[in-house]
Each structure stands twice: as C-alpha cells, then as structure tokens.
Structure 1
Amino acid sequence: MRAGRTTTIGLVLAVAMSVPATGAADPPRCEDLREVAVPGRVMGLPTSGGEVLDARTVAASGPIGEHCRVTGAIHPVDPSAPDIVFELALPSEWNHRALMFGGGGYNGTVPAVEGTLPFGPPGDAGPLASGFATFASDSGHQAAPDHEPTPSLDGSFGVNDEALRNFAGDALKKTRDAAMYLLRQHYRVKPDRSYFAGGSTGGREGLAVAQRWPGDFDGVISAYPAWNAASLDLFFGHMARALAAPEAFLDERDQALLYDSVVRACDGLDGATDGVISDAVGCDFDPKVLRCESGDGEGCLTPAQIEAARAISSPLEFGYPVASGETGYPGFPVLSGANMNAGVLGFGTTAPAEPMPTDAAYGAQFWDQWVRHFVTRDPDFGSLGLDPTRPGPWRERISELTALQDVNEVDLRPFARRGGKLLLVHGTADQLVSHRSTIDYYQRMMSAMGAEAVEDFSRLYLVPGADHANANAAFAAGWDSLGALQRWVEGGHAPHDEVVTDVNPDARQRTRPLCEFPTWPRYDGTGSVDEAGSFSCVD
C-alpha cells in the first residue's frame, strides 16, 4: 500500500495477514505430510491419485519466513502420460490465504512458489513473504532443462493427449484440489480466501479457472493473457513465414531503425517526450517512409522488410472456421511503440528457417514446436511449410486444438455471482501477446454481460511502454495488483486512482496513473513528467 493512502480496510488486512493459523490442537509438523497420499476422489478431474514426494521445513531467510516446502506428484490416468509435479509452500505464520501461480510459455517447470507476481511492485518480496500459502505446478509435463534457448519452448509433450489436456487447463484443477487437500491436512482449516496470479500462459490460466471453475478462486490477476492460445499460434506461423520470406528479415540494425522512427514520430502525442508512447491508437506511423530508394541502403528498409512489418502489425483472418469460433488474431502494434529490438522476444536475431534457429523470434520457435508436436505430431515436419491460412490436410486437427486451447468463454457471471474479482493488465508494447487481443476479450465480456455487470467485478488496465514480462521495456510496469485485489475482494473497495511505477533500474522510480480502459495517460503540461500527478487519464 502506498504511503499516504492507508485506510481502515488496509489496517484490517495488515492485521489479518499477521495472524497465525488457528484451529489445530498442536502446532502442525511439516514432516507429517510425507506420509500423506492425495486420494483421486478429492480432485475434480480424473487422475490416479497423488503423493507427497518430499516435505521439509525451510528456515526463514530475508523477507521470507519459515515455511514447509512440499513437493508432490499427481499421477495420470494414461500410464504413458507424465505426472503433474507441483510445489506448495506453507508458512508457519499463515495469513489464512492461498495463492496459485500460473506458468509461462509451454510450462514444463514449476514456477517459484517464493516468487513475485507479474508486473509486481518495486521491492515486493512476494506473497509467501506476506504469509500466503503458495502453490504451482509444471502443468503436467517436465521440459528438458537444456532445451535451447529456454525450457519454456519445449513443446514435445504435445504428442500425448492427456499431457496436452493438462497443459490446456486440466492441470489447474487437479493441482488446486491437491494443494487444498494438503493445506487442510497441515493447518486443519481451509483458507479464508484463495487467489490466482499469472502472466502470458499464466494469464490464460487465470482466465481458464474463472471460466471453468468459478468457485475455486475469489480473485484472479491475469497479466498479458494468451487466452486464445491456438489462434496466437496460428499468428506466430504467419509471422514466422513473413520474416522468413526472401530479403524480409529485419536484423538488429533494421529493428532499431524502425523502433526509433516510431518513437520519434509518436512519442510526443501524449504531451510528454519521454520515450513512452501513451497514445498507441493515435500513432499511425507507416513504415513506407523508411523505404530504400534503391537496394538495401543504410538507414532504410527494403520493400520486403516493410511488407513483413506490415504483416505483423495487421490483423490476420484465418479464412476458414475453427471449433473455438475464433476467426483471426488482431496483430501486434509493432508500429505504435512495441520494442522490437529485444532479441528473441521480438523479431529475433536470425530469420526463421528449417531447422528453426534458437535465436529466431520466440513466436517463430513457439509455432515450430506447436506444428511438430501438437498438430502433425511429426518431430521432423518442417513448420514453415504449413501455411496457417491454408493448412490443407491439417485443418481439422488445427480446429480441434483451437477448441482445446482457446479459452474464450466471456460470460463470467458464475464467477462474478460468487464474489469473484478479475484484474486484467497488459503492456501496449508487448512482443509476444498482443494487447489488442486482451482488449478484444474485455469488449466481448462487455457485450455478453453488459458494461455495468463487468464494471462490478472486473478491470482492464493498459500500461503504455510496458512489454512482455518487463523484458526490455521503455516503461517496466510495477503495481501492487494483489493489494488492490485483496481490498476489492475482502473489503469491497474497488480499485481507484491506481498508480504504476517504472521499475527499470535507471527510471528514477517514475510513476504514471494506471488508467482504466479505454483511457490512457496524457501529460497535463505542468509538473514533472516523472510523476503520476502530472498526467490525466483521457479517452
């Protein structure tokens, strides 16, 4: 909670968060959990039960207090499918709350249960340090630790149907139910409140739990959510083929030229020349102004490069029906401030090719894994040879995957009726998940439920200059989303006048108002451009 804004509910929450667990006759012993099996009947989806692999007491270290660290496995129905491996941290001084972390990419590793939230506030030590019981899983498969450039790009599990269903969402329910069973075994009581937080794939997972199991969590933080995951995969294929076209790839010099040109053209539209484009919609920069008059010269782009940039920044229509009902993907705002000079997370440093280079764009590698392991299930298949708009014999399989992976139910009234609250937050310079897609989801909710109903339980915040997971952002977002969510869920105080901080090391902790969609921050013309009070949220 920020200085000067302490409220009665804030004091109540602070006291509650420091209250030790009650309800047990004797203090719980961490080691007792080693003997506990997780019956299949306590999980809401079919499994072969689960077991605790290890339970040990971890001494206090820095801001994180003493806690019981549990590692467990949930066994599949299909004996050829991998386990779901999960971890659970149970603090000795428990605040009677639980939080589940979402994953990232293709998952395959267990997120750090002692970690922080996506777009977390500066200096935050994470929910475990605040007394939350925290848990997470690998979503039902174990990525090769030496997979280049990162284990989150290992999609080889997709050849197994149960592993694929677990990744698409089933592992969320199984992990949550197993963790809650062990939590009750340890503390003898269930938590008063449960929360979910994740970004990217984890953001999709947050929307999945709100849609599919509306009674499991009281509040969800969904950051830069890849909710229409299969549709995004198809766009990644479109992007990979555009960048692989002859003379189309933009190397690091060309990426920097395009990015710097967009900033020069649009930075001042919000009234402040600070390297952050707040008025993304008003930025209509056309890369054709950078066209080389002849050949490939210094400080200009070839026609093929301009065509690639336009393809990536424009909407893609599939041109055929798919089972999820999605019809396309809105494209990335690379011409309105997205940081393309971000190595693999942006356009990559090498053009997509066969086999796919490990320094090609992350999205191109994601597509390559999806085609080889999810679609064709042929590890030798050449992904660049599959046209996502004309998939030929793979059209039916792609349609099946959209039904499984596109988490696009927008009527969240069951979640809202149970008191659930949803915070959506996305940077407008995201290289991997387009913020336009999150706007699309939010607007669909408004159409399905009505603006008033959506306002009662949900907020969408867009952060100008923020990119994917603060990887290389002009404005690296830091916000106490969990505090805002708790005040709403537990005290009935909806977010109001929220402020986001730039957590870049050299950003002087500059702040901006966190504007509710569809508004964006405009400089008032007076005061420091480093202070939120000098900006107003305008539509």
Structure 2
Amino acid sequence: MKPLSFFLAATAFGGLAAGQAAAQDAASCAALANMSISGGFVASANVVDAVDPLPAYCEVRATALPAISIEVRLPMEGWNGKYYQAGCGGFCGVLGRADAAAGWINAMRPGLERGYATATSDSGHHGLSVVDAAWAYNNPAAERDWGYRSISETHRVAHAMIGAFYGGTSEQAIFQGCSTGGRMAHMAAERFPEMFDGIIAGAPAMDYTGLVATKMAWLMQANTARDGSQILMPGKEALIGEAVMAQCDALDGKDDGLIDDPRQCEADLSALQCVGEEGEDCLTPAELSVIDRWRQGPVNSAGEQLYPGGVPAGSEPFWWLWLTGNGQGGGKLVNAFVTNFGRYMAFDHDPGAGWTAADFDFDVDPGRMGQSSGFYNADNPDISAFREAGGKMIIWHGWADAIVTPYKTVDWYDAAAEAAGGEDALKENVALFMIPGLDHCGILPRADGLAQAGLDPMTPLEAWLNAGVAPTSIMAGQ
C-alpha cells in the first residue's frame, strides 16, 4: 500500500510532472508560495534553520477551502522519501499547537527528526483554545472538516508540496495522533484505508458522541449537587488513590504501585466514610456516591449501560486535571469539554450558549446526535479495507486514563478481532498496548515518572513496515 500517487496530487494542484528535478534550496522553498492549488491557496513558504535535533526545513502554510489551515514541513536535506502526518488534540483550532511544546504527541517532530516530510492542520477552523467549540455553532461544514475531511485535505496538500519541492511522491505514509488525534487515526483507517501505510493511535477518543456528550455529562452530573455546587472537591484524590492501591495493587501478583487491569479492581471505600465530623481524612456519603457513579459510567433510567465502564481505578492522581480541578482554577477539563461540545457540536440542532451538562437527558439525548456521530465517530471495528491494503496500526492507551475511557479501546479491539476472524488474524495488522498507571496520552507522569517521553511507538512501527517485525513494546529504548 502507498499514499495517493503523486500523479493524482499533481493533477489536482496544477499538473506538476513526476520526476521533475528539485533543487532543495531557499529559492525552491520560496517558489512554493506562488504555487497554484485547486480548492485552496498557499499563504507562505520560508526556510526554518536547523535547531538540534530538528533539521532545517521549508515551512509551508496553506489553506484548503473553506478553512482548513495546514502546515507542511519539508526537510531541506536528507529527505527519506516518506511522509508523516500528525493529528490534532481536543477541538483543536490551533495550528501546530503540539509542536510548540517539547512532547511528541500530535506533533510533527518525531517524523521531521527522522527525515520525513511532515504535515498537520488545525482541523478546519480557528479556535481560542482546544476546548473552544463556538466555531461549530450551526456550522455542519466546519463539523465535517473537523470530523474527517481535514485528514484527507492535509494529505492532499502535503503531497502537492512534496511533489513540487522534491520532484516526486512519497513512498510511504504514516499517521500519528492521540486523544482526538487518536480518533483521527481511527478515522483514517476507516474512511481512507489506502492513504496511510502505518497508523499510531493513542488513547483514541473514537466515539465522541458517546464519550464527550453522554459519558462526560454523566461525570459532571454525578459531581454536581442540587444547588449546582461541586461535591467532590480537590484534595481527596490521594486519600482515595491510596485506599484503591492498597486493595488492588497486588491483584496482578506484583506489588509495584500499578494496577495492571482496573477492570479487576472493585475497591471498597466504605471504611473511608466520615464518622461524626467531616474532614480531609474521610469521605462524606455524597462524595462516596460520586465515586460510585464515576466507576459505574452512564446508564439510562432502565439501567442500560450507555458507554463502557467509567473512571478507572488507579487514575486518582490525575483527577485534578480532568475531573476535580486543583483548587487554583486549573484542570477540570471534562467540564469544559462536555459543556462546549453540548452547546455547539453534539446535537442535530445546536442548543447554544444556554445549555449545560445538567440538561443532558440519558433517555433521550443519546438519540439526538445522528448527524454528528456520522461526522465524528470512528469506532467501527471492521477495518478490513485497511487490513487488506496491508496497513499496520499500533494502538496504545493508559489504563489510568480518567477522561478517555480505556475500556472502550479494549472493547473495540475485541470487536475488531471478531470482525477479522480472530485475534491472530487481527494481530497481522493491529497491535494493542495497554499501559498500567499511565495518564491520558501520558500528559502527567505516573509515580515512577513514566509519561509520553518514555514511549516510542514510531520505532516499532517502522520496523513492522520496513522489516516485517511485529511490535512487542512501545517503551522507549526497547
């Protein structure tokens, strides 16, 4: 399998000829700014000097109409003949956000360091932050671009630039993303099965209507009192986490401060209930109820589970960022995501700024997101077209992810194995790595310091694609 041919990309972008010589110098880079493209335009093309470990590259900024902002980075020297595309986190809206930091998640850096031509996009709109969803209000075209079209348009524009700059097409294409970027990775495998030879999907938020609307509304309602106040406040995560670890750490036969599979943990926190005066060293009945509901996950009035599982045991050290806040105005991102998603992105008819998560009806509202589920969701376990094209996919997820449920990823993998005719058949194309104790996308470090910097799915994916060696680990240095 290989990406869209240079001939097709060149035809769409002005009839460039394959095999055309490319002098990879500043003049050749600058010339890309004058390139005429179909369905879009190039805004700028400039050389960025090398800064270790990144090589010098030609930075191209372009727009695919109506509003997908794209950045392409083309190595000035030593291009390896391959292409690497990065996903985008949250509701995105910020071009190249991941590359402004030192991490590799949703960043072009891992590809550029290895000589790949790289690209990313803002997923089709400008946002004030990755939790800003106002751009989607009554705007199905923008929702479509965010959902799936920005993936293929970024690929299309990038390959036109590759053709013009190097005089040929890429011989291999890789996609990498985590969270929403992981959803994009699954979308690429489903909707564009021949576009990428290799895919890395981390903590994939593959079912946005189920996850961000239904599940997150449940989490927020569970922690909201009748007067609108927050029940479980910051400060008791350590108390809860210590009790959970004491009961569940050794279930896997190892006393290592990690819970290998939180599905096996049924910690009883009743001994923590306050007797007499409330304090920081005990839990009120209302706080215990919040935790019980978080562990359960969303159900309707008939008791039917609407989304697999809930907040996993072992994720307590990370609750401040996603669920409770830190008491200083930081964190509690679940609330921001569900509120803005429900107002502007989730429903077939957007309710607007007056909507709150308290308005979510678990009997009715899961059925009112038909259009958005078609745009956003990428949880179809049948990826036979991708597998038949020879694609290889590494999926990884932290077992202590408190925002994107790891249980959904495991359920998807089991269903994909059944659709493929068994796990052995699926393993020919898909490798799953579930990492004990790891936060969402490895953003916050676990107790032993492991975070995203300690992971490297790129090296084993390259070995799988180029040497046929199936991956056995995604830990850096292994």
Q: TM-score, normalised by structure 2?
A: 0.86
Q: Which aligned pairs between 1:306-455 and structure 2 lie closer than 5 A?
A: 306-318=288-300, 328-334=306-312, 336-349=313-326, 359=330, 361-374=332-345, 375=347, 377-391=350-364, 397-451=368-422, 452-455=424-427
Q: What amino acid is aligned across from residue 386 of structure 1 in structure 2?
A: D
Are the counterparts in 1 of residues 83 and 118 from structure 2 also a CA contact under 8 Å? yes
Deviation at 1:254, TM superposition (A): 1.7
Aligned residue among 125, 132, 135 for 1:157:
135
Distance 2:37 2:343 in 1: 35
Q: What amino acid is aligned across from residue 163 of structure 1 in structure 2?
A: A
**CA RMSD across the alignment:** 2.6
SS of match in other structure, 1:196: strand
Are the counterparts in 1 of residues 29 and 165 from structure 2 also a CA contact under 8 Å? yes
Distance 2:103 2:325 in 1: 27
SS of match in other structure, 2:88: coil
Q: What amino acid is aligned across from residue 488 of structure 1 in structure 2?
A: W
Deviation at 1:26, TM superposition (A): 4.6
Match of 2:119 in 1: 135
SS of match in other structure, 2:428: helix
Are the counterparts in 1 of residues 217 and 358 from structure 2 also a CA contact under 8 Å? no
Distance 1:285 1:395 in 2: 30
Note if 1:66 corresponds to 2:43: no
Deviations 1:359-394 (A, max 9, x none): 462111111001211235344313133124034xx5
Q: What amino acid is aligned across from residue 104 of structure 1 in structure 2?
A: G
Deviation at 1:140, TM superposition (A): 0.4
SS of match in other structure, 1:317: coil
Deviation at 1:130, TM superposition (A): 1.2
Match of 1:17 in 2: none
Q: Which aligned pairs between 1:188-207 and structure 2 lie closer than 5 A?
A: 188-207=167-186
Distance 2:330 2:461 in 1: 38
Match of 1:483 in 2: 459
Distance 1:476 1:265 in 2: 24
Distance 2:43 2:408 in 1: 40
Note if 1:210 corresponds to 2:189: yes
Aligned residue among 272, 277, 301 for 1:290:
272
Distance 1:97 1:110 in 2: 22
Distance 2:80 2:266 in 1: 49
Aligned residue among 73, 76, 85 for 1:100:
85
Q: What amino acid is aligned across from residue 236 of structure 1 in structure 2?
A: M
Q: What amino acid is aligned across from residue 69 of structure 1 in structure 2?
A: E
Are the counterparts in 1 of residues 318 and 439 from structure 2 also a CA contact under 8 Å? no
Distance 1:383 1:413 in 2: 39
Are the counterparts in 2 of residues 37 and 52 from structure 1 also a CA contact under 8 Å? yes
Q: What amino acid is aligned across from residue 457 of structure 1 in structure 2?
A: N
Distance 2:268 2:276 in 1: 19
Are the counterparts in 1 of residues 104 and 110 from structure 2 also a CA contact under 8 Å? yes
Match of 1:5 in 2: none
SS of match in other structure, 2:395: strand
Match of 2:234 in 1: 252
Deviation at 1:299, TM superposition (A): 1.4
Deviations 1:467-501 (A, max 9, x none): 112232323252321111111112211113x2625
Are the counterparts in 1 of residues 215 and 298 from structure 2 also a CA contact under 8 Å? yes
Deviation at 1:272, TM superposition (A): 4.1
Deviation at 1:53, TM superposition (A): 0.4
Q: What amino acid is aligned across from residue 432 of structure 2 in structure 1?
A: L
Note if 1:53 corresponds to 2:43: yes
CA separation of 1:332 and 1:315: change in aligned 2, threshold 3 A: closer
Note if 1:263 corresponds to 2:245: yes
Structure 1: give runs of 5+ residues left out of the alignment: 1-21, 40-48, 77-82, 145-150, 321-325, 351-356, 502-510, 514-539
Are the counterparts in 1 of residues 258 and 314 from structure 2 also a CA contact under 8 Å? yes
Match of 1:243 in 2: 223
Deviation at 1:192, TM superposition (A): 0.8
Aligned residue among 226, 229, 232 for 2:211:
232
SS of match in other structure, 1:401: helix
Deviation at 1:403, TM superposition (A): 3.0
Match of 2:21 in 1: 25
Structure 2: give runs of 5+ residues left out of the alignment: 1-17
The number of residues matched between the two structures is 443
Are the counterparts in 2 of residues 339 and 472 from structure 1 also a CA contact under 8 Å? no
Q: What amino acid is aligned across from residue 93 of structure 2 in structure 1?
A: G
Are the counterparts in 1 of residues 457 and 475 from structure 2 also a CA contact under 8 Å? no
Are the counterparts in 1 of residues 178 and 441 from structure 2 also a CA contact under 8 Å? yes
Deviation at 1:316, TM superposition (A): 2.1
Are the counterparts in 2 of residues 195 and 217 from structure 1 also a CA contact under 8 Å? yes
* Farther-moved stretch of structure 1 (265-274 vs 465-474): 265-274
SS of match in other structure, 1:285: coil
Report the identity percentage.
28
Note if 1:469 corresponds to 2:441: yes
Q: What amino acid is aligned across from residue 299 of structure 1 in structure 2?
A: D
Deviations 1:249-270 (A, max 9, x none): 2222222211122122223334
Deviation at 1:240, TM superposition (A): 0.6
Distance 1:119 1:460 in 2: 19
Are the counterparts in 2 of residues 420 and 457 from structure 1 also a CA contact under 8 Å? yes
Are the counterparts in 2 of residues 119 and 470 from structure 1 also a CA contact under 8 Å? no
SS of match in other structure, 2:235: helix
Q: TM-score, normalised by structure 1?
A: 0.77
Deviation at 1:119, TM superposition (A): 9.9
Q: What amino acid is aligned across from residue 384 of structure 1 in structure 2?
A: A
SS of match in other structure, 1:252: coil
CA separation of 1:116 and 1:458: change in aligned 2, threshold 3 A: same
Deviation at 1:312, TM superposition (A): 1.1
Deviation at 1:317, TM superposition (A): 3.3
* Farther-moved stretch of structure 1 (295-304 vs 91-100): 295-304
Match of 1:46 in 2: none
CA separation of 1:295 and 1:389: change in aligned 2, threshold 3 A: farther
Distance 1:134 1:319 in 2: 48
Are the counterparts in 2 of residues 408 and 441 from structure 1 also a CA contact under 8 Å? yes
- Which has the higher relative contact order, 1 or 2, with Cα contacts under 8 A spaced 6 or more apart? 2
CA separation of 1:373 and 1:302: change in aligned 2, threshold 3 A: same
